[in-house]
Amino acid sequence: MSYSKDKNAVERALAADPLKILRRYAPEYAARFSTARGRGPCPVHQAKGNDPNFRLSPRGWKCFSHCERGGDLLDLCVRLSGRTFRDVLTEWGDARWRVALPPVSTRRLPPPVPTDPLAILRADGMVPEDASAVRRTVHETLALGPKGRAYLASRCLNPDLAAARGFRSIESPTEWAEVEAALAASYLPGVRDAAHLAAPLPRYCPALVVPHFGPDGVHLAELRFRLLEATTKGDRMRSLKGQRATLANAHFLHAGGEVHICEGELDALTLEQLGLRAVGLPGATHWPLLLESKEQLRAVSLLVLWFDVDETGQKQDLRFRERLAAEWGRSWVRERVRIAKPVEDFCKDVNEVHCRGTLAALVGGAPWRS
C-alpha cells in the first residue's frame, strides 16, 4: 500500500510519541495518563475515575476493562476522533494522500503477533528455561523479612502461614540489586536489558513477593511484586517482563471439592487462613483464566464467589456467572455456584472485612452450604 505520504511513516511518527493522540483527541485523559507505567483510564469507553485499565504503547492500545479489545495507533485515532480512517490519515499525514493497493494475489499480510507467552519470550531472545530460572532464582534468593511480616500482620494475616505458602519480601536497596542481578543472570546475554519488572519502580520501596504456583502446587508459574509503600492502588503491583497472568492457588481448583474464588492473593490467603480452599484472581476482569481449566472447574462440587463489592467486582461477578450458565446451563449454576458477600461499611474486599473481625463468624456459619 502506498500513499503520497506513506502510511508507515505516519505510524512511525505516532509511535514516537503515542501520548500526542490523547493530547489532541482526549486531553482530559492525557492529563490522567501515567507515562511511567504506560497506563491510565480508558478514553475509548470514557472511563470514570483513575483505574489504569488502558495501556498505550508505540505498538498500539489495549483496554482491559469495558472494551476488552485494542488496536494500533491509527485505530485509536479513528475511535477517539469519530472520523474515518481516510480523514485521520489525512490529518496526521499529507492532505494529498492517495491509496494504491497491489493486486490481492501479490499483497503480503504482516505475520501474526504471537499470543503464546513463551513465543513472545523466544521472540525477545529468551527461552522457556530462562524464564523458569528467573522465577526460581529470585524466589530462592529471598526470605520473608520483618517489613513483610509487619505488613501481613497489619492485614490480620499469619506471617508464618504466608512464608510457608512461599511469600517473600524485598526490604532494602541491596536486596533489590541482588534481585536485578539474578534477573539479569537468568536472561540470555543479548536481552539482559529486558531483565526488569514490567513497569519500573517509581522509587525504591519495600515489596512483598507473591508466588503463583501451577496446578501441581510445586511448579512456580509467576512472581508478583506488591509495593508496600505505593501511593495509589493502581501503582502497587508489578510483574516480571514477559510473564502471563496466572491464578493464585491454582492447585485447589484442580483438586476439586469445594473451591472459593476471590480477587487477589491476600484475599485468597485470608480465606485459606480461615480454613477454606481459595483461588485468587489477579483482578476481577481475569475470571476467563478459570475457564482455561474447564474440566476441573466443572468437576468442583461447590464454587463460592467472593468478588469485591465495588462496581467492577460486581459487574465481573455477573459476567462470570452468565458465562458459566452459557457453558453448562443455568441448572448447573443453581446447583454448584454460591455468592458470598460479607457486608461491612466502607469495606470493599474479603481482607478488609476480616480486619474488622466479622469474617470468621460468617465463614464458621458457612451459609453457602445450606
| pLDDT score, position 159 | 95
Which of 70, 24, 21, 20 has the alpha carbon at shortest distance from 45? 70
What CATH number has the domain bearing residue 84? 3.90.580
The verdict on 223 and 185 lying in the same domain is yes
pLDDT for 157 equals 95
**Is residue 257 located within the same domain as residue 358?**
yes
Retrieve residue 87's grid coordinates: 480523514
Range 84-112 average pLDDT:
60
Residues 251 and 356 grouped into a single domain: yes
Task: Reply yes or no on whether the pLDDT at 100 is more than 60.
Answer: no
**CA-closest candidate to residue 161, choices 252, 258, 268:** 268
Within a domain: 208: yes
| 68 vs 358, higher pLDDT | 358
> Cell triple for residue 233?
492502588
Q: Which of 194, 223, 242 is the last residue of a domain?
A: 242
Nearest one of 17, 28, 18, 23 to 50, comparing CA atoms? 28
Query: Is residue 67 one of the residues assigned to a domain?
Result: yes
Domain boundary residue, one of 65, 91, 110: 110
253-287 b/e (C-beta count within 10 Å ≥ 16 → b):
bbeeebbbbbbbbbbbbbbbbbebbbbbbbbbbbb
Task: Check whether residue 214 and residue 265 sit in a common domain.
Answer: no
User: Domain check: are 270 and 159 in the same one?
Assistant: no
Residue 235, domain member (yes or no): yes
Please tell me the predicted confidence (pLDDT) of residue 2: 41
pLDDT of residue 168: 93
Tell me what the mean pLDDT of segment 94-113 comes to.
Answer: 50
Asked if the structure places residue 1 within a domain, the reply is: no
Q: What is the DSSP string of 99-161?
A: -BPPPGGG--PPPPPP-SHHHHHHHTT--HHHHHHHHHHHHHH-B--HHHHHHHHHTT--HHH
Share of the chain above pLDDT 70, in %: 76
For 17-40, write each residue's pLDDT tens digit. Answer: 888 889 888 888 888 888 777 888
Per DSSP, the three-state class of 90 is helix
For residue 161, being part of any structural domain is answered with yes
Alpha-carbon span 168 to 144, nearest angstrom: 4
Which triple of cell numbers denotes residue 239? 510483574
pLDDT over 90 (residue 98): no
The residue count of the chain comes to: 370
Looking at residue 130, its pLDDT comes to: 56
Over residues 132-146, mean pLDDT: 80
Whether 95 and 121 map to the same domain: the answer is no
pLDDT for 75 equals 86
Residue range(s) defining the domain that contains residue 161: 115-242
Query: Would you say residue 329 lies in a domain?
Result: yes
- The whole-model pTM stands at 0.63
Q: In this structure, what are the phi and psi dihedrals at residue 248, rounded to the nearest 5 degrees?
A: -85, 135
Query: What does the pLDDT look like over 237-272, one tens digit per residue?
Result: 877 766 778 899 999 988 888 999 999 999 999 999
Asked whether 255 and 277 are in contact (CB, 8 A), the reply is yes
Is the pLDDT confidence value at 196 over 60? no
Q: Are residues 324 and 296 in the same domain?
A: yes
Beta strands in 242-292 (DSSP E): 258-263, 278-281
User: Is 2 inside a domain boundary?
Assistant: no
Say which amino acid occupies 104: V
The predicted structure's pLDDT at residue 275: 94
CATH number at residue 199: 3.90.980.10
Q: How many domains does the chain have?
A: 3
Which of the pair, 118 or 353, is modelled with greater confidence? 353
Same domain, 59 and 175: no
> Could you tell me if 310 and 211 lie in one domain?
no
Instruction: Give the best-scoring range by mean pLDDT among 83-87, 219-223, 255-259, 320-324.
Output: 320-324
Query: Is the pLDDT reported for residue 106 higher than 80?
Result: no
Q: At CA 37, angle to CA 20 and CA 28, rounded to 5?
A: 40
Q: Could you report the per-residue pLDDT of 265-322, keeping only the tens digit for each?
A: 999 999 999 999 999 998 889 999 999 888 888 889 999 999 988 888 889 999 999 9
Categorize the per-residue pLDDT at 111 as very low, low, confident or very high, splitting at 50, 70 and 90: low
State the pLDDT at residue 3. 43
Helix, strand or coil, per DSSP, at residue 181: helix
Q: Are residues 275 and 233 part of one domain? A: no
Q: Contact, 184 vs 195, CB < 8 A?
A: yes
Contact 1, 74 (CB under 8 A): no
Q: Which of 242, 267, 291 is the last residue of a domain?
A: 242
Tell me: do 87 and 122 sit in the same domain. Answer: no
Q: Is residue 171 part of a domain?
A: yes
Q: What is the CATH number of the domain that holds 360?
A: 3.40.1360.10
Confidence band of 194 (pLDDT split at 50, 70, 90): very low
Same domain as 77, residue 189: no
CA distance linking residue 71 with residue 59, whole number of Å: 9
pLDDT at 113 over 60: no
Q: Measuring CA to CA, which residue among 143, 187, 189 is closest to residue 167?
A: 143
7-16, 44-53, 105-114, 328-337, range with greatest mean pLDDT: 328-337
